[in-house]
Structure 1
Amino acid sequence: MNNNLKLSNRLLTAASFLPNGAYFADIGSDHAYLPCYVCLSDPTAKAIAGEINEGPFDSAKATIRTYNLNEQVDVRLGDGLEVLQQEEVSQIIIAGMGGSLIKTILEKGKSKLSRVERIIAQPNVDARNVRRWFYENDYILTHEAILDENDHIYEVLVADKVSDSNPYSKEFMEKELLFGPLLLRNKSAVFKEKWTLEHQKLTKVIAQMRNASTPDSSRIKLFEREIAWMEEVLKDEKQSPK
């Protein structure tokens, strides 16, 4: 493989969930490093690099020229999934944004998803929002990864349109949406690190809310429930999520 293009670990992880011969869109592609990396690694792959801003759009075109990938990678300027034609791609990657923005992009672009078999999302924050959108729109969460890179913890979520499995339980679904039903099964060291930090942050938030002149008791109660979940998850005993 003649591929001297380097990707961050979070993007490498996202790209690893693409099948051979993928025809995919990378939304918010920036310099188009991810689609170029994939197409250099797999000559049968094709990609659309979507970018909303002209500066990164021009950078993406320059990257594609550098690696002679004009036949495999098409760069398009536009907002979210608007860059796609109907039934054009089979996979979509959206990486490096907040979960709320990823959810908005998917919701606004639902009409372009009829042929999309797999969505790979790498939210920088608020993965719960993305998991919920997948669930509500019949995309089944089939893989989750968590990694630490440059002092930031990232999650990668993979959802398929057709799958025999449902990773959620009715009784504990809200908890599983927060932590990730598949990540909960393994509770890796990085997973525990993330939720130890989140526990510390949320504890401080609750303390500040209680000291407010008019405390929001309903919101405090919701956060206290999440704190209890975190404490439960961080226990060393190996047990099923509750």
Structure 2
Amino acid sequence: MNEQVLSKRLQRVGANVPKDAHLADIGSDHAYLPTYLMLKGKIKFAVAGEVVQGPYESALKQVAKNQLSNKIIVRLANGLAAIQPEDQISAITIAGMGGSLIRQILTEGLANGQLRKEEKLILQPNVGEMTLRQWLVLEGYEISHEEILEENQKIYEIIVAKPNQPKVYTEQELFFGPCLLKERNEIFLKKWGRELKNKKRVLDQLLKAQKTPNEKINEVKKQLQWIEEVLT
């Protein structure tokens, strides 16, 4: 993968970035995504945020190599602290992290005024999708689009959220993804076929363990029932 050829996962994240956006790519990994989108003429401006010195320096080199230093600003910062008011960010991408970490980044960004709740969010959690969807709903976002894809035998989900479009979702919709649940494509069914086996193992371990709270057991049983209903 490089700035010319993205992974399938990042290609799909980039496909959901609006045309002519001012993009903040958080945890930018060599600034591949903003560089690719800028070279394709899709975005007008970008911030590539990195919290670790090594990846930050790699991103700087990547941007300079492509002569884009006047259009892509690389900043060493924690989460949305990479964003400054003059950037006029209209879209934020956060990819390749756990859902809980993405949620934490968004929460801190909101508390510190870096997230204005006017930006389109394009999020790709590796795990913990439900907790991320719960946060989006609590903060008044609509989950406008979702994708599920498989690459190198791993299954990834992409969640796209519109600000200030509050919508009510069921527990099952937040668990599976409202858009993914409607579509129920082959990769979706494959993922939940795997998860069915995992949940059964977890339930078995909980039942064998001493002093497992009933609430925990009942929660896993409920999710198992949902998965079985979706797969039948």
User: What's the % identity of the aligned pairs?
Assistant: 40
**Does 2:148 correspond to 1:146?**
yes
Please report how far the alpha carbon of residue 213 of structure 1 lies from its aligned counterpart in structure 2 after TM superposition. Answer: 2.4
**3-state SS of paired residue (2:49):** strand
Please report how far the alpha carbon of residue 44 of structure 1 lies from its aligned counterpart in structure 2 after TM superposition. Answer: 5.0
Partner of 1:207: 204
CA distance in 2, matches of 1:65, 1:4: 12
For residues 106 and 115 of structure 1, do their structure 2 counterparts lie closer, same or farther at Cα, with a shift above 3 Å needed? closer
For the 8 Å contact 1:146–1:191, the answer to whether it is kept is: yes
Structure 2: give runs of 5+ residues left out of the alignment: none
For the 8 Å contact 2:96–2:124, the answer to whether it is kept is: yes
For residues 154 and 4 of structure 1, do their structure 2 counterparts lie closer, same or farther at Cα, with a shift above 3 Å needed? closer
**3-state SS of paired residue (2:135):** helix
Give the superposed CA RMSD: 1.6
Paired residues in the alignment total 228
CA distance in 1, matches of 2:204, 2:145: 35
CA distance in 1, matches of 2:26, 2:3: 23
**Does 2:83 correspond to 1:81?**
no
Partner of 1:71: 70
Please report how far the alpha carbon of residue 161 of structure 1 lies from its aligned counterpart in structure 2 after TM superposition. Answer: 1.4
Please report how far the alpha carbon of residue 216 of structure 1 lies from its aligned counterpart in structure 2 after TM superposition. Answer: 2.5
Please report how far the alpha carbon of residue 55 of structure 1 lies from its aligned counterpart in structure 2 after TM superposition. Answer: 0.2
CA distance in 1, matches of 2:91, 2:12: 15
**Does 2:96 correspond to 1:108?**
no
Partner of 1:239: none
Structure 1: give runs of 5+ residues left out of the alignment: 236-242
CA distance in 2, matches of 1:30, 1:53: 10
Please report how far the alpha carbon of residue 4 of structure 1 lies from its aligned counterpart in structure 2 after TM superposition. Answer: 6.6
CA distance in 2, matches of 1:4, 1:224: 45
**3-state SS of paired residue (2:33):** helix
For residues 202 and 4 of structure 1, do their structure 2 counterparts lie closer, same or farther at Cα, with a shift above 3 Å needed? closer
For residues 43 and 101 of structure 1, do their structure 2 counterparts lie closer, same or farther at Cα, with a shift above 3 Å needed? closer
Please report how far the alpha carbon of residue 145 of structure 1 lies from its aligned counterpart in structure 2 after TM superposition. Answer: 0.3
TM-score by length of 2: 0.94
**3-state SS of paired residue (2:75):** strand
For the 8 Å contact 1:38–1:45, the answer to whether it is kept is: no
What does 1:79-228 correspond to in 2, within 5 Å? 79-86=78-85, 88-110=88-110, 111-114=113-116, 116-163=118-165, 166=167, 168-169=168-169, 173-228=170-225
Please report how far the alpha carbon of residue 115 of structure 1 lies from its aligned counterpart in structure 2 after TM superposition. Answer: 6.0
**Amino acid aligned to 1:38:** L
Using the TM superposition, name which of 179-188 and 65-74 deviates more.
65-74
Residue by residue, what CA displacement relative to the aligned partner does 1:189-216 show, whole Å, maximum 9, x if unpaired? 0000011111110100110111112232
TM-score by length of 1: 0.90
